[in-house]
Amino acid sequence: MSIKGFDNWLETPQGQYVLEWEQARFDLLVADIFGFKAMQLGLPQHDFLRANRMPFRLRCDDQFPSQAMLLAKPHFLPFANASVDLVILPHVLEFDAAPHQILREVERVLVPEGQVVVTGFNPFSLWGMRRKLSRADAPPPWRGQYLSVLRLKDWLALLGFETQAGSFGCYALPVTHEKWLHRWRFMELAGNRWWPYAGGTYIVQAIKRVHGMRLITPLRNDRKALAKSLAAVVQQSQTERNEHHF
């Protein structure tokens, strides 16, 4: 699950630029997702669940035993069906040989109405163009199979997920020096306005929907009958207490 060299790249000016944007978006999205158990697959060195308030928050990876709280393959997660409320996938799918299997596993372990949040590099961007011009053996992140948002949404829909939210970011040129990255930051505002789908990276939030499942609430007449019965019980209880005191 971990990409060799990708964690080192995240320490570079380019990586810090991407990490800063994605951490802010993760903080914003996961803060209002509630439940009991949340899980982060990949990049355990970075806590993308820090803003979430679930009692159990796990960072899972198949390497880095010192940082990961759980060692496991993303294709075969050691969790029961419908036992996790939130799964986040920071750049996991695009660098794995079997991304479909990872998504199937995520769907299996998520509870109904559970949520998944995915980040990835946008192939239809300057960063995607930079990857196409790189050698096949180029270091991360300039290799792997970048997934477009449309393809990701199609995969999620086939598994019964409904896309809830998402955004693009990192419109600056993929230059290596911090000075030039800073100079090109003006493109963030321009990109959001003029070419919003051309950001170098994206984040997508989706909810697991279970067809045929709905919340059952009492009918109006049933609620009235229930209220009357509760009132009768309360009145009888008060009468019994009065009789006891006398």
Say yes or no: 64 and 167 in one domain. Answer: yes
Say yes or no: 234 and 190 in one domain. Answer: no
Q: Beta partners for 204? A: 118, 166
Token pair 């991304």 is found at 99
Say yes or no: 107 and 143 in one domain. Answer: yes
On whether residue 213 sits in a domain, the answer given is no
- Alpha-carbon torsion, ordered 37, 61, 50, 32, to 10 deg: -40
Say yes or no: 86 and 107 in one domain. Answer: yes
- Please state the domain count of the chain: 2
On whether residue 124 sits in a domain, the answer given is yes
Residues spanned by the domain of 244: 218-246
Interval 106-146: pLDDT, tens: 999 999 999 999 999 999 998 899 898 888 778 889 988 99
CB 171 within 8 A of CB 200: yes
Say yes or no: 179 and 242 in one domain. Answer: no
Element at 243 (helix H, strand E): helix 220-245
- Identify each DSSP E strand in 47-91 by its residue range: 56-61, 70-71, 84-90
Please give the pLDDT value at position 213: 58
What is the rounded average pLDDT of the residues 172-187?
64
Q: Is the pLDDT of residue 102 over 80?
A: yes
Q: Is the pLDDT of residue 214 over 80?
A: no
Say yes or no: 236 and 168 in one domain. Answer: no
Say yes or no: 12 and 39 in one domain. Answer: yes
Say yes or no: 161 and 222 in one domain. Answer: no
CA distance 8 to 18: 13
CATH number at residue 56: 3.40.50.150
On whether residue 178 sits in a domain, the answer given is yes
On whether residue 114 sits in a domain, the answer given is yes
CA distance 207 to 216: 20
On whether residue 76 sits in a domain, the answer given is yes
Compute φ and ψ for 60, nearest 5 degrees: -110, 140
CB 20 within 8 A of CB 4: no
Say yes or no: 108 and 224 in one domain. Answer: no
